């Protein structure tokens, strides 16, 4: 018979691993899944979230099932109740903001003077226009 190798994780390590996996899943999931994951990370029930936002529990269930979409006011209230930004609630990783390849450069640019930022902004706008013109020409 072959042998079975078992890798046991301590409770603390397992909990840390699960939190990392949940964060990864939340960033790659759609709105209904992110809403559910974020609610559970905060140990909130659907009823608790509904009460915090001023909704009925059936509406929270519809949002989490993906059968209904919240209004902007509700998104704002959900984000406040979950203590996250609306962007974190609505967008997955890579859907908003610079990709990892450019993140460090944008962080460095944020420390530039106003004049230096203006130069970088002008350069980027020119590059974006050139790119869009090329895309339109290829159609």
What's this model's pTM, rounded to 2 decimal places?
A: 0.54
Number of residues in the chain: 139
Burial 86-120 (b: 16+ CB within 10 A, else e): eebbbebeeeeeeeeeeeeeeeeeeeeeeeeeeee
CB 39, CB 88: distance < 8 Å: no
Neighbours of 22 (CB within 10 A): 15
Highest mean pLDDT out of 24-28, 91-95, 131-135: 131-135
Q: Which helix (H) or strand (E) holds 46?
A: helix 46-53
* CA–CA dist 75, 72 (Å, integer): 5
CB 90, CB 32: distance < 8 Å: no
Answer whether residue 107 shows pLDDT above 50: yes
- Pick the range with the lowest mean pLDDT from 31-45, 61-75, 80-94: 80-94
pLDDT of amino acid 74: 95
- Pick the range with the lowest mean pLDDT from 51-55, 58-62, 110-114: 110-114
Helix crossing, 72-82 with 31-41: angle to 10°?
30
């Amino acid at each position: 018979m072959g042998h079975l190798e078992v890798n046991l994780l301590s409770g603390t390590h397992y909990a840390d691993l699960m939190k990392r996996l949940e964060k990864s899943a939340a960033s790659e999931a759609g709105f209904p899944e992110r809403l559910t994951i974020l609610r559970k990370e905060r140990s909130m029930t659907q009823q608790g979230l509904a009460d915090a936002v001023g909704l009925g529990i059936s509406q929270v269930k519809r949002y989490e099932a993906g059968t209904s979409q919240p209004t902007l006011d509700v998104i704002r209230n959900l984000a406040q109740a979950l203590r996250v930004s609306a962007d974190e609630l609505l967008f997955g990783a890579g859907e908003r903001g610079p990709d990892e390849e450019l993140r460090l450069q944008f962080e460095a640019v944020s420390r530039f003077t106003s004049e230096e930022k203006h130069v970088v902004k002008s350069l980027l706008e020119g590059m974006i226009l050139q790119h869009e013109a090329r895309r339109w020409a290829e159609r």
